[in-house]
């Protein structure tokens, strides 16, 4: 029988894998998912790199923070993951601007 922690770990892995695939496709080929948000992205490759950076950050946060159990020893690393995630969001935001 799988417990709630196992379900959360599986959900995190699925979401992170989807983000890595989408970010990798955008960074490697410039391809974006179809939809309304696609028109807002001026630089798809840069957006893909921002997505990959963000996925690395949120993965670090999740697996060293909430999903690893209560431990104050890994808290600085988990918070560093949040900083990396915010950096990824910033890179994605820059990719949506038409000029610097």
In sequence order, what DSSP letters do the residues of 5-54 get, joined into one string?
Answer: HHHHHHHHHHHHHHHHHHHHHHHHH----SSGGGGG-S-HHHHHHHHHHH
Residue 40 is assigned to a structural domain of this protein: yes
In a domain, 16, yes or no: yes
The rounded radius of gyration (Å) of the Cα atoms in the chain is: 15
98 — pLDDT class (breaks 50, 70, 90): confident
Supply the pLDDT for residue 1.
82
Exposure class string for 63-77: b at 16+ Cβ within 10 A, else e: bbbeeeeeeeeeeee
Number of independent structural domains in the chain: 1
User: Is the pLDDT reported for residue 43 higher than 90?
Assistant: yes
Average pLDDT of every residue of the chain: 94
Q: What is the pTM of this model?
A: 0.91
Tell me how far apart the alpha carbons of residues 62 and 87 are, in angstroms, rounded to a whole number.
16
Tell me whether residue 100 is in a domain.
no
Domain containing 52 equals 4-95
């Amino acid at each position: 029988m799988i417990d709630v922690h196992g379900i959360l770990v599986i959900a995190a892995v699925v979401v992170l894998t989807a983000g890595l695939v989408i970010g990798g496709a955008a960074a490697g080929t410039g391809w974006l998912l179809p939809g309304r948000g696609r028109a807002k992205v001026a630089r798809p490759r840069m957006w893909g790199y921002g997505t990959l950076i963000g996925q690395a950050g949120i993965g670090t946060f999740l697996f060293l923070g909430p999903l690893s159990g209560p431990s104050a020893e890994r808290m600085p690393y988990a918070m560093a993951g949040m900083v990396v995630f915010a950096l990824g969001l910033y890179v994605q935001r820059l990719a949506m601007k038409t000029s610097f």
